[in-house]
Structure 1
């Protein structure tokens, strides 16, 4: 990892003290470590920063110029951190968040304790639902939604993508057998969604070609978390976002089926918010926090 600001701090302290040995205890380093830092800077820059003698160090012309730049940069860093700290203390107000059930329960809600510690003056009003919403009409500041975005009045920050997976509980497979090829699903209970946009077909790659296979025979539901629960109870086979059942698969509570035939289609996961010129600090803080904390977790959903 690049730590040039840390090297700059060592260099500036050497200039202040006039020696490696005097600098070392101030930074909890050995004199040789301090010397190596300065040598590393000189090698990278291709210039000599100090005129060395047995008794003292003296800056070269390049060293004085570099020192002035380092002091200015380190001051800018300190001021930036102070401004950020003061700003976070001033961020307050009501933040209304709407999240789909699976993502809310398994990702966002567990992260809210940390967000609350960072921004104690923000009151989070969170609703979990898979129903379609309109941000302005429903007075929502930020929403997390799956799939493609169609409303140009919204802005979005992408949290990640998740491939889809066909899964079942071991108890179901013990009773009904494990499908070996997609056509075997015709003899199984396949759970589905009752959304208006939902279809009764699942895509598979068969002999290198994309094929949509009609499935059915199981229950229907209107949200992903209920789908997960039905699947865990052994009531049928479902096709859901891997992000939703990743931990279940790792624990052995669910088994991924037909991975060799997976169509590779991905589900986008986005933060959406109104396209406004001046975004309130509380909304910006939440968006940045969510991307920073949750995007790495969703990256697991693409293996």
Structure 2
């Protein structure tokens, strides 16, 4: 009964505070008759008169005086809750739980999160780095960064940047084993497979004559792209790698890009993904907007500084006692 009377309690409290139906109507943006109906309905549901009405003035009954004290507290709590929610919508607070791929997260998120948290010091960021896809809802994440060809329609996604993959090998490997000229020749080469995909042993390409699918026979498999890139640099085999992982090794000649006429269909996008919600929390919205701005124009615009910071950080880790 009380839940159904919340509107009536709010109207009644305003009538008492304004000492008139017309004053309450102005404050509430309602008609005078609507205010009167709310109070009458409240009295009927309670089975007791709350107000004495005369042509000149209103006065509280004893029961009305007692009831008003409770109504005033309820209305105050409701207004406090509404103000708190308004504040949360406008200023991100609380904890933002993010899932991101391991190497991408290590390379880019320290710089991004540091800058973001300087803008919103009331926010706590909880980051989970893993190369497998987490269940955002079941595991309580607000959002994830995913590098993929997005297919999960149960999630809402915003594309942050394009993702490019390359087929790479070390010069020493190519010198010893020769360079494959077509994807079909990969079946006779040592390959390194990244396992956090649906079919690690199936490599798809788009070539001059259309799509090509090759089944490779990996000599090593791993669930981390940086690990397979290091193995490729050491000459263990041929790998398919994201550009952001191998860009430095390619520029320094430690890896060579091969099969340049064939687009490896591990390309896709870098997405901010979040569960479908009617009202997106401000902490998620502002972080996604922040990421989109940082990656505007492509990942390369942000890549150099982030990679330098990541490399320096790894160097300090190696030098630490």
TM-score category, normalised to shorter length:
0.5 to 0.7
**2:279 matches 1:278:** yes
The 1:110–1:191 alpha-carbon spacing in structure 2 relative to 1, beyond 3 Å, is same
Correspondences of 1:13-162 after superposition (within 5 Å):
90-162=91-163
The 1:148–1:96 alpha-carbon spacing in structure 2 relative to 1, beyond 3 Å, is same
Whose radius of gyration is greater, 1 or 2?
2
- Equivalent pair of 1:161/1:299 in contact (CA under 8 Å): no
The aligned counterpart of 1:223 is 224
Correspondences of 1:181-196 after superposition (within 5 Å):
181-195=182-196
- Equivalent pair of 2:204/2:265 in contact (CA under 8 Å): no
Instruction: Give 1:191 shift.
Output: 0.7
Instruction: Give 1:287 shift.
Output: 0.8
Instruction: Give 1:262 shift.
Output: 2.7
Between the aligned partners of 1:287 and 1:226, the Cα distance in structure 2 is 29
**2:250 matches 1:213:** no
**2:250 matches 1:246:** no
Name which of structure 1's ranges 258-267 and 269-278 shifts more when overlaid on structure 2. Answer: 258-267
Between the aligned partners of 1:142 and 1:165, the Cα distance in structure 2 is 28
Q: CA RMSD, aligned part only?
A: 2.8
* TM-score, length basis structure 2: 0.59
Instruction: Give 1:283 shift.
Output: 1.4
Between the aligned partners of 2:133 and 2:122, the Cα distance in structure 1 is 29
Q: Please give the secondary structure, in 1, of the residue aligned with 2:297.
A: helix
Gaps of 5+ in 2: 1-86, 303-321
Q: Please give the secondary structure, in 2, of the residue aligned with 1:244.
A: helix
Name which of structure 1's ranges 175-184 and 265-274 shifts more when overlaid on structure 2. Answer: 175-184
The 1:234–1:146 alpha-carbon spacing in structure 2 relative to 1, beyond 3 Å, is same
The 1:98–1:178 alpha-carbon spacing in structure 2 relative to 1, beyond 3 Å, is same
* TM-score, length basis structure 1: 0.62
The 1:232–1:284 alpha-carbon spacing in structure 2 relative to 1, beyond 3 Å, is same
The aligned counterpart of 1:26 is none
The aligned counterpart of 1:258 is 259
Between the aligned partners of 1:121 and 1:207, the Cα distance in structure 2 is 53
The 1:150–1:179 alpha-carbon spacing in structure 2 relative to 1, beyond 3 Å, is closer
Between the aligned partners of 2:235 and 2:301, the Cα distance in structure 1 is 25
